[in-house]
Amino acid sequence: MGHVIGIDLGTTYSCMAYLIGESAKVIPNLEGAPTTPSMVSFTSSGETLIGNLAMRQAVTNPENTLFAIKRLIGRKYNSPEVSETRRRMPYKIAEAPNGDILIEVGSQLITPQEISAKILGYLKSCAASYFGEEVKDAVVTVPAHFDDHQRQATKDAGTIAGLNVLRVINEPTAASLAYGLNLKKAGAVAVFDLGGGTFDITILEINNGVFHVLATNGDSYLGGEDFDRRIVDWLLEEFRKDHKIDISPDKYALQRIKEAAERAKRELSFTQETEINLPFIGSDAVGSKHLRKSLSRSLLEELTKDLVEKSIPLMRLAIEESGLKLEAIEDVILVGGQTRMPLVRKRVAEFFQKEPNDKLNPDESVAMGAAIQSGILRGELNELVLLLDVTSLSLGIETENNGFEKIIDKNTTIPTKRTKPFTTVEHDQRRVRIHVLQGENHHASENTSLAMFDLVGISPAPAGVPEIDVTFEIDADGIVKVSARDISSGREQKILIQPSSGLSREELNNIVVREREKEAKETTSNGKKGLL
């Protein structure tokens, strides 16, 4: 049986691991590093560079070096989050005919799924090199607050990369597996996950190998990228004050400043002050101008305090929805690189009234947990490990006057099955439309549409008399089945919700075929020449 790898496909960095015995081990990339920058760069010579090689292109080739793609995957072009990203990124983001996102690279238009697939494909090749054999199967993690479109888009990226994605699981849940696999005592745990692009807070109970998620909350658009941006904005404003020059339209200068901001942020996790020195960053009629500024930890905290505070009400809500008291939380696990920031650690400690657990590497624990999940799926762990996860968002249907009726509430343990009765709004109504939605807003139009189908042949009756039972069922893989049944006539209509990432099955298959043909061509051109 071949190896199965666990992959943490991160906004800023990605990591992979595998299960050996009853513990997980990180797989290094081809350069020997435990993590890989989630970056892809397309060069003028036609090369595609991934990871550190792509990162080195960021300043000299900003328009064709793609990063933070995780913030775009599975989203619509006109969403508020994408509108903000478009304004900030050096690369061009376009709208697809169906309202999804395309990335402009030269004359090409590429989907976020294809970009993510290139990162996953690189990790797959690193694992193959490590094991000395091809790797086909993987468990891939996503933020707990990803909706079904984003989850399916991530799974599609795996398919394009030639991976069989056995399961897509929540990042905080994966981290809890890495933390508690060999934990002998029972107790409640909070997982605070602040990565490069997303934030999640998950409350769960661990007891004799059973990992029971009680509640999860978060913000799929809050992460280290936002902290970096605050430093970038401060530097641009300081340069404007000093030299009366606005260099924000200069993509090359902007990328240099972004890299310096990221570096300064990391340094300020270990020191009280750092210097940012960027010579020849701009010019005017007099000559070249240099950017040289000292940034203190206290100023960084002042610039980003509101970002840290955004996590507090989400943590409070997760505790409330878990049904536990704050004092019942026995341990707090920090996940994601941004949790290295002292202010983040301080506010988490203040909220939970205890110091967070620092035994896990925040960059590696999610991938290790994904590897453990692969062992659970394949029955490779000697002791019973049962993972009971929850729905991160509510599921329901649209009702009259743009209403949204929840049928399965968020934080419901899966698998689950729920039924609710509905009726007609017009006399002798013979047909009803079932519009399946996901979200928390009481207005249907403000939630995510997953599917729509009609139940026809309802028995004629006055409005409000017919009873139409709508049933939602979610299995352990998160696949949703919806059915509607007219009690009087017995007529029933069912649908399997396999949320689209925006790629139709035909489009996905075409991309997969194209990638396999490209790989075959590269293998042929790079292989040994045959004898005549």
Closest CA to 16 of 107, 167, 180, 127: 127
Cα(114)–Cα(95) distance, rounded to whole angstroms? 16
**58 φ, ψ to 5°?**
-60, -40
Cα(399)–Cα(471) distance, rounded to whole angstroms? 15
The encoded tokens of residue 34 equal 């435990």
On the 0-12 / 13-18 / 19+ scale of CB atoms within 10 A, 206 is buried
225 in active site = no
233 in active site = no
**149 φ, ψ to 5°?**
-65, -45
141-39-290 Cα angle (round to 5): 135
Dihedral sign (CA 156, 161, 163, 165)? negative
Contact 16, 367 (CB under 8 A): yes
Closest CA to 264 of 292, 222, 223, 306: 292
In the numeric block, the tokens 């294809």 are attached to 114
The encoded tokens of residue 474 equal 């979610």
The encoded tokens of residue 408 equal 């399965």
Cα(404)–Cα(396) distance, rounded to whole angstroms? 7
Max Cα separation, the chain?
85
171 in active site = yes
Catalytic residue among 147, 193, 205, 225: 193
Catalytic residue among 70, 258, 265, 293: 70
Cα(374)–Cα(95) distance, rounded to whole angstroms? 36
Cα(407)–Cα(472) distance, rounded to whole angstroms? 7
Catalytic residue among 156, 171, 331, 389: 171
Cα(55)–Cα(53) distance, rounded to whole angstroms? 5
Cα(284)–Cα(287) distance, rounded to whole angstroms? 5
The encoded tokens of residue 395 equal 């599921």
8 in active site = yes
Q: State the DSSP H helix or E strand holding residue 524, giving kind and residue range, or none if neither.
A: helix 505-526
Assign 506 to helix, strand or coil. Answer: helix
* Residues marked as catalytic: 8, 70, 171, 193
